[in-house]
Amino acid sequence: MTDWQLRDFVPSDLEELVRLDDASSTAHQPPVFALSDVVSAVSARNPAVVAVVSGRIVGAAVGRVEGDQAWLLRLALDPTWRGRGLGSSLISELEHRLVTAGVRRIRALLPVDETGTAAFANSGFTARPSMTLFEKSESVDPHAATLLRELGGAVPAAGLWQQVAGMVDEKRLIERRVVLPLARPAQAHAHGVEPPRAVVLFGPPGTGKTTFARAVASRLAWPFVELFPSRMAAAEGGLAAGISAAFQRISELERVVVFIDEVEEIAAHRDGGLASVAVVNELLKALVSFREQDGRLLVCATNSVRLLDPAFLRHGRFDYVLPIGPPDEAARSAMWERHLKASGEGVAASALVAASANLTPADIAHAARTVSQQMFERSIDEGERGMATAADYLEAVGALRPTLSADMVRDFTEDIAQFART
Ligand SMILES: Nc1ncnc2c1ncn2[C@@H]1O[C@H](COP(=O)(O)OP(=O)(O)OP(=O)(O)O)[C@@H](O)[C@H]1O
Ligand SMILES: [Mg+2]
């Protein structure tokens, strides 16, 4: 006989749900999903059901839908109603609602010995006992999180630095001059080293400037915010006002790597593109305040360092002006080795290194992708997975239109002599 009635959770049940949650647990460790997660879920109208006996809530099950998947965040049972099938009954009722909401997979994560463990087993859930829950609490301040979202920023994935193949000299330089002083400010200060606040990366297209900027943020585990000149230009009051507003908001973040690509668009010495005297001045002004705060780095990238206003590059504004050139042999070899894992197992990277001199990382990636696509199509046509040969890769390299012309390489060499500050 069923002695309880099941119904949907309603907002006025909240107080009783909290009381029940407190009384329910039989485990010796806190739940994976905190009570605040449960409250947020019901407040956001996720499916939740309660069991009522004589007007009192004796059980509750709360779900949280994420696309076609759901978490069963909480199964709470009044201690006097344990062992009577109430848990299974709540699960089944909630399951019905979740399925109706389009859910195809439901998960629950319970501490050992938690109440309801038997109910999950009885309801057709499969336990996966040999799993480890990894947890880490991040100290994110909600205001910063909102601001960051509005600025389109995020902390890049870990490991991007390690994924920058080769480029040993550039990596060493950036690591020593930029990453380490920012990562270990106390140690830097002890030696009289001021952590850098702003750097320019210059070099021909596709050599990895953006990649490096993101990799630095990843290495520091700082949020990365890219500012787009065209978007700032759309601000009320135009580009100068947009720049000022963007930097104002960024100043509220505790830590941040700010990236401006194609900075010559807004900092050229000639009027052209979006740049004007007023815009360059605004940027310089923003930079002065930016430099006064700890925990931040501005990275500006450009293909045309010679177009930048000399005032922009002056000492005291940018700490370093670093060239990022086409990959050297070691870098190309490392890049090929990585790309060859996809479709060219067995091909020696050394066979491709010479043929790809003066290709950019983007060119090499493109050639490798071309071969992967060919192998994919071949596997569709022939029904089996084959591996590409060195000849396939050399052919793709030969067919490529390289990004860099001889003129560009020569200009870059001149730019290094004239502008680099390492
Ligand atoms: N050292 C590297 N190792 C592996 N991949 C790289 C490396 N450098 C660049 N790449 C890849 O090459 C492509 C182009 O790199 P990126 O966009 O960083 O170049 P860029 O210098 O910013 O180009 P642009 O001047 O056109 O903005 C990307 O797909 C990137 O992942
Ligand atoms: Mg770029």
Nearest CA among 296, 30, 277 for reference residue 21: 30
Question: Do 322 and 335 have their domain in common?
Answer: no
Against a cut of 0.95, is the pTM above it? no
Ligand nearest to the CA of 161: 1
Question: For 26-74, what is each residue's pLDDT tens digit?
Answer: 888 889 999 999 999 999 999 999 999 999 999 999 999 999 999 999 9
Question: Do 322 and 333 have their domain in common?
Answer: no
Cβ atoms of 225 and 250 within 8 Å: the answer is: yes
Question: Do 102 and 51 have their domain in common?
Answer: yes
H or E segment at 57? strand 56-66
Say if 285 falls within a structural domain.
yes
Question: Do 59 and 91 have their domain in common?
Answer: yes
Q: Which residue CA neighbors atom 6 of ligand 1 most closely?
A: 361
Question: Do 154 and 196 have their domain in common?
Answer: yes
188: CATH: 3.40.50.300
What is the C-alpha separation between 36 and 276, in angstroms, rounded? 51
Is residue 8 classed as helix, strand or coil in its secondary structure? Answer: strand
Other residues' Cβ atoms within 10 Å of the Cβ of residue 286: 21
Per-residue pLDDT at 384 = 82
Among residues 304, 326, 348, the one where a domain terminates is 326
Instruction: Give the distance from CA 16 to its chain's centroid.
Output: 39
- Ligand 2 ion: residues within 5 Å (CB): 210, 261
32: CATH: 3.40.630.30
Q: Which domain holds residue 397?
A: 329-403
The long-range contacts involving 313-320, CB below 8 angstroms and separated by at least 24 positions, are: 313/200, 313/419, 313/421, 317/198, 317/284, 317/287, 317/291, 318/198, 318/199, 318/200, 318/421, 319/177, 319/194, 319/196, 319/197, 319/198, 319/199, 320/177, 320/178, 320/196, 320/199, 320/200, 320/421, 320/422
Per-residue pLDDT at 112 = 87
- Report how many domains make up the chain: 3
Low-confidence residues in the chain, pLDDT < 70: 1-2, 137-140, 270-275
Say if 189 falls within a structural domain.
yes
Say if 129 falls within a structural domain.
no
Ligand nearest to the CA of 412: 1
Question: Do 290 and 187 have their domain in common?
Answer: yes
CA of 304 to the centre of ligand 2 (A): 12
Question: Do 255 and 301 have their domain in common?
Answer: yes
Say if 363 falls within a structural domain.
yes
CA of 261 to the centre of ligand 2 (A): 6
Question: Do 222 and 298 have their domain in common?
Answer: yes
Question: Do 378 and 238 have their domain in common?
Answer: no
Say if 233 falls within a structural domain.
yes
